[in-house]
């Protein structure tokens, strides 16, 4: 299903997106050496509940996961990149952490992810991984113009990732979003310009470039959810929810302090 949101629904999407961004900003500040992944998840639950929003993850049970996810936050550490299930693990200085959060607010969902180095001992190679996903995300957003094709967005993302020497996995990528978290269309992180669905005002997309150093192969943890690089190398993931508008793409998942 591909939804076309009304102006009123887009207003609610902005509120949902700002909430996601604000929660991620608070959690990032709490993600210091010694912090527990489970404590971050519990704080995410508190913040979601306090606003009357609902988690998109707790009851999420797609075919690629092992039963309901059961947590409010994805926490991927070092060689983990997607669907990181929080466990009783304390963060260490220099860890590469991805926080991924999706909530529904007044019937509209928003989804975002951010990768960053924990503490003060950032590895330059980790920072390069983060930077290339952020740059690819910016390129994908810039290409998401009304009347453009979905392949234009995928190609813009893929050109940045491949130009930096990364292999691109197409099993998981961006997606449509709206009244539910995961909708059509699938947005691969590489593609051919001029191909695919034509973008229309009112469409809501979650774009999420991610890379793993030296591989495009994933392995799944025993928890049935956490996806890691097959070679044990580190990984990064950046994501925004955007709306296609007549004036161009609009980022929904900006913190409330950065909204016009």
Give the model confidence (pLDDT) of 222-234 as tens digits.
999 999 999 999 9
Q: Is residue 174 part of a domain?
A: yes
Q: Is residue 1 part of a domain?
A: no
pLDDT of residue 49: 97
pLDDT of residue 257: 77
- pLDDT tens track for 16-38: 999 999 999 999 999 999 999 99
With a cut of 70, say whether residue 259 has pLDDT above it: no
Q: Is residue 221 part of a domain?
A: yes
Q: Is residue 2 part of a domain?
A: no
Q: Is residue 46 part of a domain?
A: yes
Q: Is residue 12 part of a domain?
A: yes
More confident residue, 260 or 150: 150
Residue 258 banded pLDDT, cuts 50, 70, 90: low
pTM as predicted:
0.96
Range of the domain at 164: 7-258
Residue 40 contacts residue 114 (beta carbons within 8 Å): no
Tokens of 199: 């973008």
Residue 174 contacts residue 206 (beta carbons within 8 Å): yes
CA distances from 167 to 62, 67, 127, 134, 189 (A): 26, 30, 18, 16, 10
- pLDDT tens track for 180-201: 999 999 999 999 999 999 999 9
Average pLDDT over residues 112-125: 97
Residue 23 contacts residue 40 (beta carbons within 8 Å): no
The tally of domains found in the chain comes to: 1
With a cut of 90, say whether residue 1 has pLDDT above it: no
CA gap 227, 218 in Å, rounded: 6
| CATH assignment at residue 112 | 3.90.230.10
Q: Is residue 92 part of a domain?
A: yes
Averaged pLDDT score across all residues of the chain: 97
pLDDT of residue 256: 85
With a cut of 90, say whether residue 206 has pLDDT above it: yes
pLDDT of residue 73: 98
With a cut of 70, say whether residue 260 has pLDDT above it: no
Q: Is residue 97 part of a domain?
A: yes
Percent of the chain with pLDDT over 90: 97
């Amino acid at each position: 299903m591909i939804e076309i949101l009304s102006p009123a629904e887009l207003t609610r999407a902005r509120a949902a997106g700002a909430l996601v961004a604000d929660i991620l900003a608070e959690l990032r500040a709490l993600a210091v050496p010694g912090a527990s992944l489970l404590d971050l998840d519990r704080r995410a639950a508190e913040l979601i509940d306090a606003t009357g929003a609902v988690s998109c993850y707790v009851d999420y049970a797609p075919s690629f996961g092992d039963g309901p996810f059961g947590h409010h936050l994805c926490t991927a550490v070092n060689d983990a990149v997607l669907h990181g299930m929080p466990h009783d693990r304390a963060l260490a200085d220099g860890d590469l952490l991805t926080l991924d959060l999706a909530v529904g607010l007044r019937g509209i969902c928003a989804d975002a992810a951010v990768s960053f180095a924990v503490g003060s001992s950032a590895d330059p190679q980790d920072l390069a991984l983060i930077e290339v996903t952020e740059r690819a995300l910016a390129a994908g957003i810039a290409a998401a113009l009304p009347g453009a094709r979905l392949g234009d967005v995928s190609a813009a993302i893929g050109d940045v990732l491949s130009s930096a020497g990364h292999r691109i996995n197409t099993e998981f990528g961006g997606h449509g979003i709206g009244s539910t978290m995961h909708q059509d269309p699938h947005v691969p992180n590489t593609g051919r310009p001029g191909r695919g669905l034509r973008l229309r005002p009112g469409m809501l997309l979650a774009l999420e470039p991610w890379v793993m150093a030296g591989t495009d192969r994933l392995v799944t943890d025993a928890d049935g959810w956490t996806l890691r690089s097959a070679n044990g190398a580190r990984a990064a993931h950046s994501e925004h929810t955007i709306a296609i508008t007549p004036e161009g793409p609009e980022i929904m998942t900006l913190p409330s302090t950065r909204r016009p």
